[in-house]
C-alpha cells in the first residue's frame, strides 16, 4: 500500500461562513496534515486521515482569531486538533469521490461527507511522484459544539450555522 504525504508548501484549507446574514467571512488553517494510504488515482481503496491544529486559524483579524481559539468556539487549549478519518470512499465519476468519515471537533464526533475532485498525477522536476485534489464540503458548526452567536436587531444572527470548507491539497509519494 502506497503512502502519500501532504506537500504542505502546495496545500491549503479554507473556510467561509455567512456574517450578519449579508456577506461571507473567509479564513484558513495554516497548520494541518493529511495522509493518504492507498492508490492515488482510485481513492475507493484508500484511507484518508486529516489533522488540523485549531490554534492555527487565521481570518485576518487577530481579535476574531483569538475569539475562535477561545472557549466560545474551538477551545484550542483543551481541543488542539480537528480530526477527520474516512470510513468509506465512493467513486462518483472518473474524477470525483465522496469521502465519508468521522469528523471530530472539540469533544464531538459525527459523520461528515466531503467531495474530492482528482486533479491528476505528475512528476516534479526532482523526480517525485505528486497527486492533487480539490475537496469541498459543508458542516453545521452547532452540531460540533460551536454554538456561540448573537442576535441582530434587524433579525437573524451574527454567524450562520453552516460552514463551507474548500481545500486544495497536493501529496508526494513516500
pLDDT digits over 110-164, tens only?
999 999 999 999 999 999 999 999 999 999 988 988 777 767 677 776 677 889 9
Question: How is 57-98 classified by DSSP, letter by letter?
Answer: EE-S-HHHHHHHHSTTTT-TTT--EEEEEEEEEEE-SSSEEE
The model's pTM is 0.91
From CA 144, how far away is CA 4, in angstroms rounded? 29
Residue 57, exposed/middle/buried by CB under 10 A (0-12, 13-18, 19+)?
buried
pLDDT in tens, 55-108: 999 999 999 899 999 998 999 999 999 999 999 999 999 899 999 999 999 999
* Cβ-based neighbour number of residue 110 at 10 Å: 12
Amino acid at each position: 500500500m502506497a503512502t502519500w504525504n501532504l506537500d504542505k508548501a502546495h496545500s491549503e484549507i479554507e473556510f467561509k461562513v455567512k456574517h450578519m446574514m449579508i456577506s461571507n467571512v473567509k479564513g484558513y488553517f495554516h497548520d494541518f496534515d493529511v495522509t493518504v494510504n492507498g492508490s492515488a488515482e482510485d481513492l475507493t481503496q484508500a484511507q484518508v486521515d486529516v489533522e488540523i491544529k485549531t490554534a492555527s486559524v487565521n481570518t485576518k483579524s487577530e481579535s476574531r482569531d483569538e475569539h475562535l481559539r477561545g472557549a466560545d468556539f474551538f477551545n484550542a487549549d483543551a481541543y488542539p486538533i480537528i480530526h477527520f478519518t474516512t470510513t468509506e470512499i465512493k467513486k462518483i465519476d472518473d474524477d470525483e469521490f465522496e469521502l465519508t468519515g468521522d469528523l471530530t471537533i472539540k469533544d464531538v464526533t459525527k459523520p461528515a461527507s466531503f467531495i474530492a475532485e482528482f486533479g491528476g498525477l505528475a512528476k516534479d522536476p526532482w523526480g517525485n511522484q505528486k497527486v492533487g485534489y480539490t475537496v469541498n464540503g459543508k458542516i453545521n458548526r452547532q452540531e460540533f459544539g460551536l454554538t456561540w452567536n448573537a442576535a441582530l436587531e434587524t433579525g437573524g444572527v451574527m454567524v450562520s450555522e453552516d460552514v463551507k470548507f474548500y481545500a486544495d491539497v497536493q501529496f508526494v509519494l513516500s
